[in-house]
Structure 1
Amino acid sequence: MALISAAALAYEILLMRLFSIILWHHFAYMIISLALLGYGASGAVLTLAQRAVQQRFAPLFSAAAAAFGVSAIVCFSLAQRVPFNPLEILWDPRQPAYLLAVYLLLLLPFLCAGACVCMALSCFRGMVPRIYSFDILGAGAGSLGVVALLFVLSPADALKLIGALGWVAAAVAWLECGGPRRWPAGLLMALAGLPLLLPQAWVAPTMSPYKELSQILRIPEARLVVEQSSPLGLVSVVESPRIPLRHAPGLSLNATTEPPPQLGVFIDGEGLNALTRFDGRQGSLVHLDQISSALPYHLLRHPRVLVLGAGAGADVLQAHYHDARQIDAVELNPQVVDLVARRFADYAGGLYSGIARVHVAEARGFVAASAERYDLIQVALLDSFSASSAGLYALSENYLYTVEALQDDLRHLQPGGLLAITRWVTLPPRDALKLFAAAVVALEQSGVADPGSRLALVRSWKTSTLLVKNGAFDGADIAAIKAFCVARSFDLAFYPGMRPEEANRYNVVEPPDLFDGAAALLGPGREEFLQGYKFHIAPATDDKPHFFHFFKWRSLPELWSLKGQGGLPLLEWGYPVLVATLVQAAIASLLLIGLPLAWVTWVGARQNNRMPLAGPRGRILVYFLAIGFGFMFIEIAFIQKFVLFLSHPLYAVAVVLFAFLLFAGIGSRVSGRLAEGARAMRYPVAAVAGAICLSAALCLVLLSWLFQHPMGLPDAARILISAALIAPLAFFMGMPFPLGLAKVEATDARLIPWAWGINGCASVTGAVLATLLAIHIGFTAVVVAALVLYGVAAAARP
């Protein structure tokens, strides 16, 4: 049981890594949803085949485990061949069908794994807590183990190993269940080696042709120089000798010099970062003064600079060109740092060994833990233009651009220091206005009476740069900003005292432009402007950190009416995909719950058996729906919340899942004793629900402190702190399911697979719905909704 559950959870997390390479990492909610749908579907299938399971448990269990091993590899390989392109989902009617095909293919392995668990729960009466605890303990080990595995194996090799685990579980199950002959176990163990022998090309992830790396490699003679994989991403370095790469975002059209030779650095095929050849001559870096991010260096002399998201070092070179007296560079991915500091040290001119002090850390955590103050904090342009403009990040959490993040940055500035953030220009304005709104709120909450006196915004043809000053801009600052823009034909978007006619002079766009929006955000009608604007540009916060979510339902008819004029790209595809997935999950869940219920009722009526009355069946339905939704709401909210504390989405998924599953497994074992004492304890489920509410409330109180103080600790320490915080809550959350299932077993054991299916299908819809709710109402509200659901479960206990 532990083996097959470990393999299933490892496969779930590995699929997130694989989809990060193939498409984008924001498919995590879909992966979790389809995993749970597979588990729910297993309950439906076994409800219809209970007699066969009882009679031939050992061969069916072993067959299901082996089928998991086969389907984990085969279904992923087939899913890659489905021509699903999320960028076309709004205008190609075939894309929803392709999405459904991918969904159903990847569902099959989880159906097989879920069938193993459900068969064991159905056949071994009186052992529900023990079986369930080994199920989730194994799952917890698999969720953390696969992350460690990805440090030493490529995703393709990890996939083959997980496939082999299914065969090993089948062999162990055959031996444990006392099969009539021993040789099938030996054969199954021998077959476990077959996945490891598969050619790499059969299982290697195939990157979307719409990703930046795929596009770059279409250039004649462009080639991969280096490719390295880890849980943090697939790092690819590209060289193009025939048609040189030139990456200088928003380079002034007045520029007369071109960048020196560059290599392209990509993470998971996106976010082009330039590794520039530097021979030590300052004159070779003149182009770095011709982009909008150079503005703060025209207001400061020899600043102490902190670069957040340094990547391959373009912003570090910019600081060096402008005679910064000290440069601290923060980069999350150690592979990128190692490439610049070692493999390409000579090419980069000792950028990360002699020019800057490099810190491998998450940017927000580094700032929170640092006691230093800087003259300039530069937030690099971290994402790709194509991904940002297409709405690819609409579902992702980003804690760099929240109100609280800006406040942290401002606290680490010297008096007169500057925070500079560069973003891509999108039309109509979205990113820049949302960031400007966050800066206004951050200054107001910091006690600044006139936030407009500390803000400046400029725009090139491709990028915009926002400056937030620790103090008011004076006349000399404003003169320097004007001179900088005039020399480069950049547009002034806002500075204190700016007149409307000064805006929109060089790169002319139709209103509403940035100046109109900035003025409205500083005026008394801010809330009306935010409500009336066609995109969602309210400031992102740590509780609602979806900075790239701009979708508004009321704008949909207008944008759809512009379909023939190119209006659809203004819609982020991520949000419609999420809604489409929710609809698919809800329909599938209703079918998987309703069909088995109808079957069991019909069979019972024909056989004239004593079936549970409608009341008990209704209580079972409500109870398992409530705990399924409640568990997933809390789990998904915590995963998204811990992205900030644990620095990376994959780390957050693995650690939070591990902690929840580990301590929920322990709670499940304890619940067995609680169920035995249920006669003495009249309302065990109500007591557990109360404990869950108290534990969750404690977590919510501690989280705000947690994300301020220990964020600079090493990874191991933060993982332990996360587990300790989650432990009490997860312990009690592991109890309602086995308590309810034990009650169902005592009432009518034939309903165990159905109850399992209800819980699984509720979890399916809950995984997607939790993400949707978090975007709109925030993580805290999602957790509160989960606690209400646990209260409903306590009231409806079967």
Structure 2
Amino acid sequence: MSVTFIALEILWTRIFSAEFFYTFAFLILSLAILGLGLGGLSIRFFKKLNNPSLIWVYLTLSGILALIGPMLVLRLDLNFTHLFSSGWMLMKFILTIIILSSSFFWGGMALTLLFKINNKKISTLYMADLIGAGLGVVVAVLLMNTIQTQRTTLLICLPVFVAALLQAPQWWRTVPAVLSLLVLFLLPEANTLIHKERKERFPVIFSHWDAMANIKVAKAGDDFYYCIIDNAAHAPTIHFDGNLDKPDSLKQVSGYPLKYLIGRTDSCTFLSLGAGGGADVLNALYEGATEIHAVEVVPYLNYMMTDGFLKDFTGNMYHNKRVKVVTEDGRAYVRQFRNKFDIIYSGSTNTFAALASGSFALAENYLFTREAFEDYYRAMSDSGIMLLDHQFYIPRLVNDAIEAMNKLNVPNPASHLAVYDFPARGRMVMLMSKQPMKKATWENALYKLSAENYPQFRIVYPSPDSTKNNLINQIVENGWKAAQPNSATDLSPSTDDRPFAAQMGMWKNFKFSELQTIQPWEFKGFPLAKLLITIILLVIGLLIIPINLIPFLKKGEKLNVRGWLYFFLIGVAFMTVEVILIQKYTLFIGSNSYAFMTILFSLLLASGIGSFFSSRFSSTTPFLGIIAWIILDVLLFGFLTEKLVLLPISGRILVTMVLILPLGFFMGMPFPKGTLRVGSLVDWGFAVNGAASVLGSTAIMLVAFNFGYQIALVTGAFAYFLAMLIIRSQRVWVKE
């Protein structure tokens, strides 16, 4: 059953990320764990449900709801932007929550009953639960990358139906068996069933949906396609007939003119950071770049360009001898080079999808941190220039670039920068050069600065006297703290320990009037991420935690405060450490679906093995092991992984597993050790643990936003320390 539950959680995340915008994918983790915990609590509240003979029924209901849930939600026409302004939309949202959590609710009842009636064998059962979850991660990712997300969403219900078959009385086994056959029968219709109607700007002529992205190719014209990633990011693809010797008037290009920048050197090495549909690569080919690295993190985009749907449309240009096609996280790739690239080109390179983090955090990438700009600076040749454009991030990125050059002891970092505004495009462009930038360079790099071009193209740094009060100029000349009062968005620097460039909202901008139409991003300063987290915390604090206190009022055997707090603390601690580890090691491996799979699988596998061997360790040993390993992670492992970034991805995966497995081994022990202290009251302990897990995974993001991952990880260690103080006491945890 755990294979289905964790896989379903990942699939829900992929669906939400692609169809409802990544910000709301964070809800999945909360609702999944919450559903499991409330299912466990219902066993304690209602005696008729506390019946082992019903386990197969609960599993069957869980599988049915897992099967139909995605179909129902995608047809509700849910629109998060009108959540607070429309009562009808609020009702749809509540219904979505019920549908999302229902499968986990019934599954939580089955899981809790198994724990309760076999509490003496909890070490083995909890091992099966964790290893099953780990395998579920692998199964989900591999299936999505082979048979696509829609079919996987249906197929992943089979394990829980098999579990129901194993538990059902002989004369009822036909029910889960028939449901399993129904899943196989529906499989050919998966693309129709798992589908959200959406009005597209241009006709969609091709689509593919795997663990990394939902990709659609839209036809904007006979010579111009758009690759749409997760219904948010757009990558242009230009028709190319294979002829590079055209006059300029016949060349079709997208993006910014590169003739001047590429022409500065006799032999230009060009890096496209997020090559997408190849428009930047074509531009570089036209202008004579001699070596082009087309780096793209989404594997299927590269496949379409090299051997798939876009190969012929783009004139087979990815097989040009000057083009090196790289499927890799851009940050992980650029760290491998020193003094290499004459141009690093980043055209709106970012992702609006919950990629490596899955549902386990508000997704971020590491492309826009201070340390990232240090890597870009090192990777540039002596005459190198980085061009980076974005709709929203440039003020913050200018600050990051300056801090990076200060860190590298570059004299007068401001002299290495130029920033342009394109009002008609709604974009800004930043140039960062290895050497101090000559006036001729920033005057001619893209278009010639002139009064004639001013309505469409202007420079904001170095700024002419007439516009010196612009925000960019204030940041460069006076620092971000001086400029912050004049900015609606957060300008504070992003670092690898705090890589939240997209979390730009500030509480000072919160207004109830803004709730009329919520935008699923923070580019105008509305604190959406913090608001979502706060709402979840309020629901947990005002509703779920009190529900978990109700059994104190009932007669009969119950946990005392000490036992209740123990399960609460280990729930907070486990999810805190899990969320932060996934984020931290994604930087080392690279932001891709296999990185997420590796990290979470390693942690769950090791925790399962740790559970099995938990009886061989004293009560305090696991906690001491966890705390010691977290201290090593905070003080040492960051330096170690920094030295090993040049390893191939297989080597980085292996190192990550070595660094995570010992910690996971000890993290699998506290729950079974607590269960052995409370016996059949594990149902209540499991429910408390679930509520605390939601609280921990949610609240820790506020800690990370404000103080960074290291402090967040130490917070998890402190929660484990408090739990250790409770378990080392010999006082009983159960009272009559």
Q: Which amino acid counterpart does residue 510 of structure 2 have in structure 1?
A: L
* Paired position in structure 2 for 1:45: 42
Give the whole-Å Cα distance in 2 for the aligned partners of 1:204 and 1:717: 40
How does 1:610-621 map onto structure 2 within 5 Å? 611=557, 617-621=560-564
CA distance in 2, matches of 1:721, 1:161: 33
Quickly say closer, same or farther: Cα 1:290–1:759, change in 2 above 3 A: closer
Alignment-derived partner of residue 279 in structure 2: 314
TM-superposed CA distance for 1:705, in Å, is 3.5
- Counterpart of 1:579 in structure 2 is 534
Query: Structure 2 vs 1, CA of residues 562 and 737 (structure 1 numbering), >3 Å: closer, same or farther?
Result: closer
In 2, the alpha carbon distance for the partners of 1:346 and 1:474 equals 41
Change (3 A) 1:537 1:310: same
**Residue 466 in 1 paired to residue 430 in 2?**
yes
Pair 1:98-2:78 in alignment: no
Aligned partner letter, 1:47:
R
Q: Check whether the contact 2:371–2:495 (CA below 8 A) recurs between aligned residues.
A: yes
Query: How far off its partner does 1:729 sit?
Result: 0.9
Change (3 A) 1:193 1:666: same
Shift of 1:488: 4.1
2:676 alignment partner AA: A
- For 1:346, the equivalent position in structure 2 comes to 312
1:689 counterpart = 2:623: yes
1:91 to 1:528, Cα distance in 2 relative to 1, 3 A: farther
Give the corresponding residue for 2:324.
357
For the structure 1 residues 539 and 230, does the alpha-carbon distance in structure 2 shift closer, same or farther, using more than 3 Å as the test? same
Distance, in Å, in 2 between the alignment partners of 1:532 and 1:557 is 18
Matching of residue 769 in structure 1 with residue 699 in structure 2: yes
Displacement of 1:661 in angstroms is 1.2
Classify the secondary structure of the residue corresponding to 2:428. strand
Do the aligned partners of residues 327 and 650 (structure 1) sit closer, same or farther apart at CA in structure 2, a change above 3 Å counting?
closer
Conservation of the 8 A alpha-carbon contact between 2:260 and 2:446: no
Aligned residue in 2 for 1:159:
153
Q: Is the 8 A contact 1:228 1:236 kept in 2?
A: yes
Q: Secondary structure at the match of 1:216?
A: coil
Between the aligned partners of 1:783 and 1:669, the Cα distance in structure 2 is 25
Check the 8 A contact 1:86/1:577 in 2, yes or no.
Answer: no
After TM superposition, give the deviation of residue 346 of structure 1 in Å: 3.3
1:24 equivalent to 2:24? Answer no
CA gap of 1:736–1:532, structure 2 versus 1, over 3 A, is: farther
Secondary structure of the residue that 1:237 maps to in structure 2?
strand
Q: What's the counterpart of residue 176 of structure 2?
A: 188
Which of 602, 605, 609 aligns to 1:666? It is 609
- Is 1:204 aligned with 2:193? yes
**Which one of 189, 208, 215 corresponds to residue 200 of structure 2?**
215
Q: 2 CA distance for matches of 1:643 and 1:410? A: 22
Matches of 1:301 and 1:96, distance apart in 2: 61
Question: Does the residue aligned with 2:16 lie in a helix, a strand or coil?
Answer: helix
Give the drift of 1:376: 1.0
1:553 maps onto 2:521 in alignment: no
The equivalent position to 1:744 in structure 2, one of 666, 678, 683, is 678
Asked whether the 8 Å contact 1:329–1:356 carries over to 2, the reply is yes
Partner of 2:101: 107
Secondary structure at the counterpart of residue 613 of structure 2: helix
Number of residue pairs aligned between Structure 1 and Structure 2: 709
Q: What is the letter of the counterpart of residue 397 of structure 1?
A: E
User: CA separation of 1:78/1:187 partners in 2, compared to 1, >3 Å: closer, same or farther?
Assistant: closer
Letter aligned with residue 7 of structure 2 = A
Who is 2:549 aligned against? 594
Alignment of 1:229-378 (within 5 A): 229-240=209-220, 244=221, 261-279=223-241, 280=243, 281-283=246-248, 288=253, 291=256, 296-297=261-262, 302-343=267-308, 344-354=310-320, 355-370=322-337, 373-378=340-345
Counterpart-to-counterpart distance in 2, 1:81 and 1:187: 27
Residue 724 of structure 1 is matched in structure 2 by 658
Shift of 1:563: 8.9
Give the aligned partner of residue 255 of structure 1.
none
Alpha-carbon separation, structure 1, partners of 2:516 and 2:181: 56
Q: CA deviation at 1:164?
A: 2.2
Q: Distance in 2 between matches of 1:447 and 1:562?
A: 48
1:253 aligns to what? none
Cα distance, 1:594–1:208 mapped onto 2, change above 3 Å: farther
Q: RMSD of the alignment, in Å?
A: 3.0
Change (3 A) 1:661 1:479: closer
Cross-structure match for 2:415: 453
Q: For the structure 1 residues 90 and 296, does the alpha-carbon distance in structure 2 shift closer, same or farther, using more than 3 Å as the test?
A: farther
Q: Which letter maps to 2:42?
A: V
**Structure 2 residue aligned with 1:642:** 585
Among candidates 402, 405, 409, match of residue 372 of structure 2: 405
Residue aligned with 2:388, SS: strand
| 1:35/1:110 contact within 8 Å kept | yes
Contact 2:270 2:292 in 1 (8 A): yes
1:510-521 matches, cutoff 5 A: 516-521=470-475
Contact 1:659 1:727 in 2 (8 A): yes
Following the alignment from structure 1 to structure 2, what is the Cα–Cα distance between the partners of residues 443 and 405?
Answer: 11
- One-letter amino acid matched to 1:194: L
Is 1:536 matched with 2:479?
no
Distance change >3 Å, CA 112–CA 330, structure 1 → 2: same
Q: Deviations over 1:496-539 (max 9, x none)?
A: 5x4322x4xxxxxxxxx8x6323322335542333663321112
Correspondence 1:170 to 2:164 = yes
Q: CA deviation at 1:694?
A: 0.8
Cα distance change, pair 136–558 in 1 and its aligned pair in 2 (3 A): closer
Which secondary structure does the structure 2 equivalent of 1:458 belong to?
A: strand
Mapping 1:20-169, distance limit 5 Å = 20-50=17-47, 53=50, 56-57=51-52, 59-89=53-83, 91-92=85-86, 94-169=88-163
Give the CA deviation at 1:541. 0.9
Residues 1:577 and 1:435: Cα distance change in structure 2 (over 3 Å):
same
How far did 1:50 drift? Answer: 4.8
Letter in 2 for 1:336: L
TM superposition shift of 1:710: 4.0
Distance 1:500 1:596, change over 3 A: farther
TM-score, with normalisation over the residues of structure 2? 0.89
Task: Give yes or no for contact 1:368–1:709 (8 Å, CA) kept in 2.
Answer: no
Task: Give the Å deviation of 1:103.
Answer: 1.8
Note the alpha carbon deviations across 1:120-149, whole angstroms, 9 max, x for none: 111124112111111111111111121111
Cα displacement (A) at 1:65: 1.3
Over residues 56-87 of structure 1, what are the superposed CA-to-partner deviations in whole Å (9 max), with x where a residue is unaligned?
A: 41x31111111111110122222223332122
Tell me the CA shift for residue 467 of structure 1: 0.7
- Tell me which amino acid in the other structure corresponds to 2:674: G
Give the superposition deviation at 1:664: 0.8
Amino acid at match of 2:716: A
SS across alignment from 2:195: coil
Amino acid at match of 1:471: Q
For the structure 1 residues 151 and 223, does the alpha-carbon distance in structure 2 shift closer, same or farther, using more than 3 Å as the test? closer
What is the CA distance between 1:414 and its match in structure 2? Answer: 1.2
The 3-state SS of whatever aligns with 1:400 is coil
Q: What CA distance in whole angstroms lies between the structure 2 residues aligned with 1:744 and 1:441?
A: 53
CA 1:192–1:239 in 2, change beyond 3 Å: closer, same or farther? same
Q: Flag the 1:385–1:491 CA change in 2: closer, same or farther, 3 A.
A: farther
Structure 2: distance between partners of 1:99 and 1:417: 50
Gaps of 5+ in 2: 355-360, 728-732
Shift of 1:313: 1.0
Q: TM-score, normalised by structure 1?
A: 0.82
The Cα shift of 1:455 comes to: 0.7
User: How far did 1:371 drift?
Assistant: 5.1
Q: How many Å apart are 1:93 and its aligned residue?
A: 5.2
The CA distance in 1 between the partners of 2:622 and 2:353, in whole Å, is: 48
User: In 2 relative to 1, CA 203–20 (structure 1 residues): closer, same or farther, beyond 3 Å?
Assistant: farther
Partner AA of 1:543 in structure 2 = D
For 1:603, what is the secondary structure of its paired residue? coil
Alpha carbons of structure 1 residues 192 and 561: separation in structure 2 relative to 1, 3 Å: closer
- The answer to whether the 8 A contact 2:161-2:180 is kept is yes
Deviations 1:576-628 (A, max 9, x none): 33433333344442243123333xxx333xxxxxx46xxx6111222111111
